[in-house]
Structure 1
Amino acid sequence: MWRVAIIGCGGSGKTTIARRIAGALGVPITHLDTLYYDDRWRPSSPEEFAAAQETLAAADAWVMDGNYASSMPIRLRRATHVIFLDLPALTCLRGIVQRRRRYRGGQHHQAGVYERITWEFLAYVWRYRRDMAPRVRALLAEHAGHAEVHIVRSRQAAARLADRLARQAACP
């Protein structure tokens, strides 16, 4: 069975890729933002968040999208496939603006994720490749050696990969 972890900066296209792959596999998607935050953006406790991921990761097949480096090992240890969307900051910021326009600043209806754009979040996106990507790579090296890992650096490459994995999944 396929267990796919999709990681990347805000605005990198995690949800889009997750939908394409989960649709091809016929498996549920878990958007980690909806697991971590309630509808008022109150975070769950680290223990609750980790326990929920442990339960979900124990399933035979899944697609999970989200970063959350502190709990990433939970997903990476069980994943059969990992997609790291390592896109440039400007591409991610453009994705955030497009998403905000598409949903008019509200909820991503399909994902159940609400927009929450703050200066802190924008700074995080801007510095992601410098500050977070090295940590993600280290976690991949430590916990995902058994998985098929894909590091993607453009939207076009991400689309091609999603299409290829969808075709692979369709051929048992």
Structure 2
Amino acid sequence: MLTADDPLPNRPRRVLVAGATGSGKTTMARRIGAALELPVTEMDALHHGPAWTPRPEFMADVEAFSSTDAWVSEWQYPDARGLLADRADTMVWLDLPTPVTMTRVARRTVRRRLRDEELWNGNKEAPLHTVFTDPEHILRWAWRTRHLLRDLVPEVEVTHPGLVIVRLRHRSDVDRFVSGLSAGVA
């Protein structure tokens, strides 16, 4: 497993960004896409249909974009993870401290709710008071799943030995990694 300071063996062409809710997966995917001039596909936009229902076309859409030769996307949704790991050449793991990710997800949730932001296919964040009543509220979900990748990523490292995995543990690692991409890699 590489760090932000390790050189990449090749120029990434099919990149996954893994991380807990609130780690900045989507933002990082966009930054990587811009640095490497690769198209970015947002998984939440493919997955969520109206009323937060899964879109029936989700896996077909994942199959379509991941079969191309260049892309960046988040590594999420259990049904898609295996296919994406099979097709990726690089995974960037945002393994940031829990206080950072929880603060981010809380701020983002409050901001989206107060601004009444539409997310995907007409969906909006649940009312803030439902954090106390809904076990699936995004804040409770983020807390419950915050350590999920600590088992999944090492498992992928074993099952996909050709996949380059870069583990970023701090915000400064994220910036150094992206700066390195912008400066050019092999």
Normalising by structure 1, what TM-score? 0.80
Q: C-alpha root-mean-square deviation of aligned residues, in Å?
A: 2.6
Q: Of Structure 1 and Structure 2, which has the larger fraction of its residues in helix?
A: 1
Compute the displacement of 1:153 (Å).
1.4
- Per the alignment, residue 2 of structure 1 pairs with 13
Structure 2 gaps, min length 5: 1-11
Contact 1:86 1:129 in 2 (8 A): no
Aligned to 2:97: 88
Matched residues in 1 for 2:122 and 2:72: separation?
Answer: 16
Name the CA distance, whole Å, in 2 between partners of 1:21 and 1:113: 27
Superposition map of 1:1-172 within 5 A: 2-45=13-56, 48-100=57-109, 103=112, 104-107=115-118, 116=125, 119-120=135-136, 121-143=138-160, 145-168=161-184
Contact kept, 8 Å, 1:9 with 1:92, in 2: the verdict is: yes
Please report how far the alpha carbon of residue 158 of structure 1 lies from its aligned counterpart in structure 2 after TM superposition: 1.5
Task: Evaluate the alpha carbon distance shift between residue 155 and residue 86 of structure 1 in structure 2; reply closer, same or farther with a 3 A threshold.
Answer: same
Identity across aligned pairs (percent)? 30
Which 4+ runs in 1 deviate beyond 6 A?
none
Unaligned runs of 5+ in 1: none
Q: TM-score, normalised by structure 2?
A: 0.75
Contact 2:19 2:149 (C-alpha < 8 Å) held by counterparts: no
Sort the Cα spacing of 1:101 and 1:116 in 2 relative to 1 into closer, same or farther, 3 A. Answer: closer
The Cα shift of 1:62 comes to 0.4
Indicate the structure (1 or 2) with the bigger Cα radius of gyration.
2
CA distance in structure 1 between the aligned counterparts of 2:16 and 2:154, rounded to whole angstroms: 14
Distance 2:20 2:122 in 1: 15
